[in-house]
Structure 1
Amino acid sequence: MTQLTTKAAGVFVIAVTPFHPDGRIDMESCDRMVDFYLEAGATGLTVLGMMGEAPKLTVDESRDVVARILKRVAGQVPVVVGVSAPGFAQIDALTRLVMDLGAAGVMVAPPGSLRTDDQIVTYYTQIAELLGEVPFVLQDFPLVTGVQMSAKVITRIVNDLPTCVCLKHEDWPGLEKITALRRSGVLNRRISILCGNGGMFLPEEMARGADGAMTGFAYPEMMVGVVAQYAKGNVDRAQDIFDAYLPLARFEQQPGLGLALRKYTLARRGIIAHDALRRPGVALSPESRAEVDRLITRQEKRLKELN
């Protein structure tokens, strides 16, 4: 079993959960999706994240989805599973389940009830005690959780808890936080920093010291290309790749609509069979679909010019 480590880098794609129109999980689309992400160059996958509709799944369904994806991945890349839940009993049960199936680690977001720095640190101290030797990703996503974690709080967590091996950086704006954490002498060890927000700030995040992305976008090849070019020192080429996809990436970041847009695009590309969201979920209007189609057409034109 591959374990998540502080050296995690590249692109860990946040996987959607494909559904049939009647709400059943589409396992065949899960297989195609995994194949597509691996062929696109993903260095890891993250399952049951916030964009994976995890709260809409039963425990048995969560197990079945993780098992199917892990079987298809077959150890080629590490798979991280989101286990965030209101209570520790749920977190513990899901963690044991997915680690037994072969997951590389888990991701935990803070509950919205945390207000002070000490409360946040205490929560993650207890999480580390609960998880034991299981490596975990600290998810910093204040736009959704409502929990503000400063660089100082993250430093306390990382320095005190060796099983915290990765920060999913999803603050907005948050570039200064990356710089603060990468400053010499702040952390007692270098951990992985993988960024979210659909890759919207990926070039700048890479320049600040991020190791890659842990997020979703219907064209993960954009993120793979940007990270790869930065690793080679080709900053201008990385920016050119990013710019070609930016209009669609921006459109996909609409609050409340982003997942529906992503699933529509993935279905349009033939990666999943249906763009269905499990209820409750928003349905795209004909106008929104037409706007995505137009952006994809323009994107394809720009990519031809770029290549």
Structure 2
Amino acid sequence: MLQSMKLPDGLWPVMLTPFTKTNEVDLDGLERLTEFYIEAGSNGLFANCLSSEMYQLTEEERLLVTSQVVKKSGERVPVVATGTFSRSVAENVAFIKKIHDTGVQAVILITSMLAEPDESEEVLRGRLEQILEQTGQIPLGVYECPVPYKRLLSPALMQWMAQTGRFLYHKDTSCHSGALERKAQAIGGTDFNLYNADTTTALDSLDAGANGISPISANYYPEPYRYLLDQYQQYGRSEEVTRLHAMLTMMDRVTHTYYPYAAKVFLQRRGLKIETSTRIPCETMPQVDRLRFQALMDSFQALAAQHGFPLVLQPVHYTDTTASL
């Protein structure tokens, strides 16, 4: 297990969970997926998250998935995973300890699981204090997960969290450049890292001091995001970085539909050996959306050719546009 330390900057994919055709957790597929993320240049992995269909997993499966990712990652990249699935502080504390025992670098708290929509931020802080008191020195993080509802944190609360020395990871879903800047300033110079979930505001957040990005589109194609971060670090907002970011922003509008099913189909078409099974009900994709996803694949390949970044997996070519993509 990696020792407790400040998490690395960069790209943090929110991991999918592969299932077999009978909807059991596919451990072999999970190993292949984990290796894919790492080979594509990920700096860390967020397992057992919303993209992982965490609410559709049993407690035993959440622990199994997380431990498998930690084992496969070894000491190459750190792993974080969700530890709160209840309104009860006691139940959350018990599971936080279990998920920490898998070897994760930090256990993530879902902001909207800790307080009801009509409860104040003071109530939320009180519950965070209880968790801190009852979990020893376990490193923690927070995720403004949109399910069960999106609960955004204030810069003031984040500053307090940073000052506790226990929080290492924040996945931000505000999708607002001004809010991201204020949060980044509030925790600047501490071990509390901010990772932006939103592609559109990615460059603005990096300009403001965010530590990295964690968009769901990185589950389709992590390579251009890795390239974007590398180029930004070297050259700032160069013309190339700006053009690439603009394309990723437009492509991002497609990736959010039929998710996470579409991401699994896309990865399968890229040559990753996983099934497209999900536990989240998904409507049959009409032809117009299949064509949009084919255009997404074409755009991704065009970006790779234009910018010259290597692909971990080469897309498989299909000519039948009525086939499922």
TM-score under structure 2 length normalisation: 0.84
Runs (5+) with no aligned partner, structure 2: 309-325
Decide which of 210, 215, 223 is 2:225's aligned counterpart. 223
Q: Does 1:129 find its partner at 2:130?
A: no
* Contact in 2 for aligned 1:244/1:303 (Cα 8 Å): no
Q: 1:26 to 1:85 in 2, by over 3 A?
A: same
CA-CA distance at 1:272 after TM superposition: 4.3
Paired with 1:81 and 1:71, the residues of 2 have a C-alpha distance of 13
* Contact in 2 for aligned 1:15/1:47 (Cα 8 Å): yes
Q: 1:141 to 1:123 in 2, by over 3 A?
A: same
Decide which of 227, 238, 241 is 2:244's aligned counterpart. 241
Paired with 1:43 and 1:122, the residues of 2 have a C-alpha distance of 32
The aligned runs of 1:124-273 (5 Å cut-off) are: 124-141=128-145, 145-159=149-163, 161-173=164-176, 175-183=177-185, 189=190, 191-197=192-198, 199-217=199-217, 218-236=220-238, 237-254=240-257, 257-273=258-274
Paired with 1:162 and 1:200, the residues of 2 have a C-alpha distance of 30
* Contact in 2 for aligned 1:12/1:45 (Cα 8 Å): yes
Q: What is the aligned partner in structure 2 of residue 33 from structure 1?
A: 33
Deviations 1:130-151 (A, max 9, x none): 3221111122346863324222
Q: What is the aligned partner in structure 2 of residue 119 from structure 1?
A: 123
TM-score under structure 1 length normalisation: 0.88
Q: What is the number of residues matched between the two proteins?
A: 300
* Contact in 2 for aligned 1:266/1:275 (Cα 8 Å): no
Paired with 2:107 and 2:52, the residues of 1 have a C-alpha distance of 14
Paired with 2:150 and 2:127, the residues of 1 have a C-alpha distance of 15
CA-CA distance at 1:253 after TM superposition: 2.5
Quick check: 49-58 or 123-132, which moved more? 123-132
Paired with 2:4 and 2:285, the residues of 1 have a C-alpha distance of 40
CA-CA distance at 1:157 after TM superposition: 2.8
CA-CA distance at 1:116 after TM superposition: 1.1
Give the secondary-structure state (helix, strand or coil) at the position aligned to 1:16.
Answer: coil
What is the alpha-carbon root mean square deviation over aligned residues?
Answer: 2.3
Paired with 2:68 and 2:283, the residues of 1 have a C-alpha distance of 27
CA-CA distance at 1:85 after TM superposition: 1.1
Q: 1:189 to 1:76 in 2, by over 3 A?
A: closer
Task: Work out the percentage of aligned pairs sharing the same amino acid.
Answer: 19
